[in-house]
Amino acid sequence: MERLKEGGRQIAAGGSAGLVEVCIMHPLDLLKTRLQIGGGHYSGLMDCFRKTLHNEGFRGFYKGILPPILAETPKRATKFFTFAQYKELFASNTMPAWASLSLAGLCSGLTEAVVVCPFETVKVHMQADRSVKQHHTTFQVGREIVKKQGFGTQGLYRGLDATLARNGVWNMFYFGIYHNIKDFIPSEKERPTANIVYRLGLGFIAGTTACLFNIPFDVAKSRIQGPQPPSGRIYHGCIQSMVLVVRQEGVLILWRGLLPKAMRLGPGGAIMLFVYDTVYEFLKENT
């Protein structure tokens, strides 16, 4: 019974963390996606911001927000719940503690990717739409993708390999860094203010570092799930798309969108860990 209650706390805290994070940080995710798939439409982050605001208004920054909102509860719940399970599983292994925490993060990211991939496909499709008025709802876009390409890796699960790589690498660094250093910060009982500041700072560092290592896979995912050239689909798999981008546009393009991504997932990573820890401790004391 206690194990079920513990799992419920982890799921509720993870879902709360994801919902708060996406509502605050979604505009930066939109800018990141548009820079990654926008080709010559934008010269940089501020140009993308100005054109989006001028052409679509403030609401334009929240295009495609419903899929991540719908996904955040299961996605973040899956992230934090499975991390806890993998951490416990690998803790009994002979590997060093730092390695088991990073491996648990990697496995939680792979599990999370399977849950979130269909929502990501719909979200990217909607974010790529630069029209002033978005004519299709989230559910209409989802139905259209299923009708034309199906549920598999050509449809809703398009870009699954890139999503697995992106989420796996990000969670590996995110959880690995945070949980390996967390024990060195002042305790909440001894220095409560310092504890909050250090936890937020550590979450920011963990999220930003994770972005540096996973963004090439994120670019590949955006290219695969986003609009293709009029001549036909040219982006198919993760590695194939990365190689094609490097050949046609140069290796630095694999880090396109890094600034808005880091601006979102640096603070976003801090927000998630802080909200998760806070909600989890509250539930632990009151349930």
The pLDDT value recorded for residue 36 is 82
The pLDDT value recorded for residue 205 is 95
Q: What is the rounded average pLDDT of the residues 95-107?
A: 92
SS3 content of the chain, % helix, strand, coil (to 5): 80, 0, 20
pLDDT band per the 50, 70, 90 thresholds, residue 40: low
Q: Does 72 have pLDDT greater than 80?
A: no
Q: Residue ranges of the domains in the chain?
A: 2-286
Q: Does 226 have pLDDT greater than 90?
A: no
When mean pLDDT is compared across 24-33, 39-48, 181-190, the lowest value belongs to: 39-48
More confident residue, 256 or 41: 256
Q: What is the rounded average pLDDT of the residues 96-109?
A: 94
Mean per-residue pLDDT of the chain: 88
When mean pLDDT is compared across 72-86, 123-137, 214-228, the lowest value belongs to: 123-137
**Exposed, middle or buried by CB within 10 Å (0-12, 13-18, 19+), for 283?**
middle
pLDDT band per the 50, 70, 90 thresholds, residue 287: confident
Q: What is the rounded average pLDDT of the residues 138-146?
A: 87
Q: What is the rounded average pLDDT of the residues 238-263?
A: 93
When mean pLDDT is compared across 75-84, 90-99, 234-243, the lowest value belongs to: 90-99
| pTM, 2 dp | 0.82
Q: Does 203 have pLDDT greater than 80?
A: yes
The pLDDT value recorded for residue 63 is 84
The CATH H-level superfamily of 2-286 is Mitochondrial carrier domain (1.50.40.10)
Amino acid at 134: Q
Residue 145 in contact with residue 121, Cβ under 8 Å?
yes
DSSP summary character for residue 3: H
Instruction: Please provide the distance, in angstroms rounded to a whole number, between the alpha carbons at the two ends of the chain.
Output: 12
Q: Does 215 have pLDDT greater than 90?
A: yes
The pLDDT value recorded for residue 236 is 92
Q: What is the rounded average pLDDT of the residues 96-107?
A: 93
For residue 168 the two structure tokens come to 């796996």
DSSP summary character for residue 189: T
Residues in the chain, total: 287
The pLDDT value recorded for residue 39 is 59
